[in-house]
A and B are shown apart, each in its own frame.
Chain A
């Protein structure tokens, strides 16, 4: 009984969603998946802890869930796309979540993203890309 190691395990700050994580976090992801339905989002909002119990979450998962601890949930195996079904209706954007993962403000996270675009237009012109 052992989980296979992968080359991607050593990429820093990266949690690849694979069989091992998916198996460990199945109830948590099943709960997050349920948020495709409005009535489930409302039921959760009314009593998050009771909703966690309904899906059989561990105490650790439940604590992370009710506290919007996104990095904690990612480390426990939440899938990011499923996590968004929790985060977005609760008013968090993907940038807010990204900032939380890094421990920076959303404004700083967005500034860092904007910086990726610096100097790119010149590179594109050289290579024959459309530019309006």
Chain B
């Protein structure tokens, strides 16, 4: 049977992509941020996952405002990265696992989550930067990857509570797949930041740290907050932290915290990294 070995949280901001392309990882501005990923890379090398499910939001590459699914799942054999107009280097395509994806879609929909299925899906920086953070040192991606996109661009967006519940459904879906696969889940985005309006540049360190502790020990704390409360505390773009709850909901209630790392600022944000390992991994 497939099993979830654990989850990782990570930022996915474009500035990280540019820093990697330009090899700035060891410059004073970036060193502490990137060094905090070394334990994640070591953990991934040790557990050797077969599949990475990346929970992120599309920022206007695959989805335009003409059609905006609340939750959508890649169900293809391959996913391409492409020009988003932001000057980011386009990364190599990602191999998918269509059989697992379709099993997940069926299981999730049978659990009353009406997720959209995508047989062609371009993946933007929200997906590609986490993959590069984990595995750019290898000649090719060592896992198959499945994109799970959450609309956090155009309101109404799903509630934090709904994201946690989707994670629960995701766990049931993966754990009922007959193939013997090891799955890791990346909850990406955040943390607090606001890019737009006169409040641009807000960062809320205390709230970020509360969110990290909540995702570890008490996901209901974050899951019980309204979208307005999260915007007030984390900024309009900081609402991406709800992606973390999808990841957390897919793990067991009790997890082992193998690593926690926070750095502020990178570009306009606070950045949080967690490795949460399922007890049986």
Give the interface of B toward A (CB within 8 A): 15, 32, 35-36, 39, 59-61, 64-65, 82-87, 153-156, 194-201, 203, 205, 209, 213, 226-228, 231-232, 236-237, 259-265, 267-268, 270
Number of A-B contacts (CB under 8 A): 148
Q: In the complex, are the beta carbons of B231 and A8 less than 8 A apart? A: yes
CA distance A94 to B197 in the complex (A): 12
Contacting B at CB under 8 A, from A58-109, are 71, 74, 79-86, 88-89, 94-95, 97-98, 101-102, 109
Size class of the A contact interface (CB-based, 8 Å): 35 or more
For the A-B complex with A11-B199, A116-B203 known, give 18 more contacts whose Cβ atoms are closer than 8 Å. Answer: A8-B231, A17-B155, A17-B236, A29-B64, A36-B61, A36-B83, A74-B197, A80-B196, A81-B60, A89-B85, A94-B195, A94-B267, A101-B197, A113-B203, A113-B267, A116-B270, A123-B209, A129-B262
A-B contact pairs, 16 of them (CB 8 A): A7-B226, A11-B199, A11-B231, A14-B196, A14-B231, A19-B154, A33-B65, A36-B84, A36-B85, A38-B83, A86-B85, A97-B195, A98-B195, A102-B198, A129-B260, A132-B35
Q: B63's closest neighbor in chain A, by CB?
A: A33
Q: In the complex, are the beta carbons of A113 and B199 less than 8 A apart? A: no
Q: In the complex, are the beta carbons of B231 and A80 less than 8 A apart? A: no
Closest 4 CB pairs of A and B: A13-B198, A85-B85, A13-B199, A98-B200
Q: B194's closest neighbor in chain A, by CB?
A: A14
Q: B270's closest neighbor in chain A, by CB?
A: A116
Q: In the complex, are the beta carbons of B268 and A95 less than 8 A apart? A: yes
Q: In the complex, are the beta carbons of B201 and A113 less than 8 A apart? A: yes
Give the interface of A toward B (CB within 8 A): 6-8, 11-19, 22, 26, 29-30, 33, 35-38, 41, 71, 74, 79-86, 88-89, 94-95, 97-98, 101-102, 109, 112-114, 116-117, 120, 123-124, 127-130, 132
Q: In the complex, are the beta carbons of B196 and A37 less than 8 A apart? A: no
Q: B272's closest neighbor in chain A, by CB?
A: A129
Q: Which residues of B contact A132 (CB under 8 A)?
A: 32, 35-36
Q: In the complex, are the beta carbons of A74 and B196 less than 8 A apart? A: yes
Shortest A68–chain B CB gap in Å is 15
Q: Which residues of A contact B153 (CB under 8 A)?
A: 17, 79, 81
Q: Which residues of B contact A17 (CB under 8 A)?
A: 153-155, 236
Shortest A87–chain B CB gap in Å is 9
Shortest B137–chain A CB gap in Å is 19
